[in-house]
Amino acid sequence: MTGKILVTTRSFRKLDGPHQQILRDAGYEIVNSPYARRATADELAELVGDVEAVIMGLDECTAPVIAHAEKLKVISRYGIGIDNVDLSAATAAGIVVTNTPGANALAVAEHTFALMLAIARSVPLQDRHVHADDFAPISGVELYESTLGLIGMGRIGREVALRAAAFGMRILYYDPFPPPDDLLTQTGAESREVRDLLAESDFVSLHAPLTDESHHLINAATMAVMKPTAYLINTARGGLVDEAALYTALRDGQIAGAAFDVFAEEPPTGNPLLTLDNFIATPHSGSATRQTTLRMGLMAAQNALMVLRGERPPHVVNPQVYERDQH
């Protein structure tokens, strides 16, 4: 055996395929996390001591974890977001951090639409009513000719825009980095500042990264400009939304409903949002498809192996680590 690679992400572990085989073929021992959930910092610190790579989900990879990882050369994120990784500590330790942009875009875009349709037509609530022998229909709203506001027009936001155009929706977007002109031509998407987008939209869908600047981007003040008939969809990061303010807005009818795949604390045990009929939740499963697992898993495995071979992978999150090695 060449060395050990720790795998913490559950879907990578559960589905056998080329993403695991290429690690074995390279001579590495795959060490699976013993946890059926994301590991805490203390738990992860106990697992990283003798591994050369980690293929990681949303586990807490803090500076103390990295300090325990004496042999670690690469943290290969199975996914896009790196808000749970201490990039400064990783860079200082000479550890390359990679991610898998685009691998989950189709799955998350489709999940976004599943949530949008479900909240627009109260699908989960109506299902519960039918199971309880209540066959009275609940009136919903159509997506056709309604306005969708996209906050974030990266890979996932663009896939959502394409699907929204097929549904006959008017599309607004906010992103400091404009999308390609051909996408704008194809979808008819129009640029807006965040406040104007919120005021005009019937559906608002979040596709932005979580940063210090975007934390609680959706809060009491920003929701105050939304239509009382508007719906909020979040398949990005829970920290983008002030959940306490959202609970108040939903309870008081300030907005019509919300559908979330992500939460500030996961699992959202005891979260008051889960008591509301106009709130739909899924367990951070936007990318949980067989196709995405294979696609994202193979990309994450390839990223890890490239670093271990001394090569530079295409999706490095902390390029400063290479500048550090040159000094």
Active site residues: 237, 266, 284
How far apart CA 16 and CA 315 sit, in angstroms, is: 24
| CA 190/CA 118 separation, integer angstroms | 25
Structure-block tokens of residue 158: 């663009």
Packed helices 123-131 and 105-120: angle between N→C axes, nearest 10 degrees: 60
Measured between alpha carbons, how far is 277 from 298 in angstroms, rounded to an integer?
39
DSSP 40: P
Beta strands in 82-132 (DSSP E): 96-98
Residue 227, both tokens: 């239509």
Alpha-carbon gap, residue 75 to 202, rounded angstroms: 40
Task: Output the CA torsion 113→117→115→136 (10° steps).
Answer: -170
Establish how many alpha carbons lie within 13 A of residue 311's alpha carbon, considering only the half-sphere containing its beta carbon.
9
Q: Is 208 left (phi over 0), alpha (psi -120 to 50) or beta?
A: beta
CB-based burial of residue 87 (10 Å sphere; 0-12 exposed, 13-18 middle, 19+ buried)?
A: middle
- The H or E element that residue 121 is part of is none
Residue with tokens 């390359």: 96
| Phi and psi based region of residue 236 (left: phi greater than 0; alpha: psi -120 to 50; beta: remaining) | alpha
Residue whose entry in the numeric block shows the structure tokens 């999308």: 179
Q: How many CA atoms lie within 13 A of 258 on its CB side?
A: 29
Cα separation of the two ends of the chain: 32
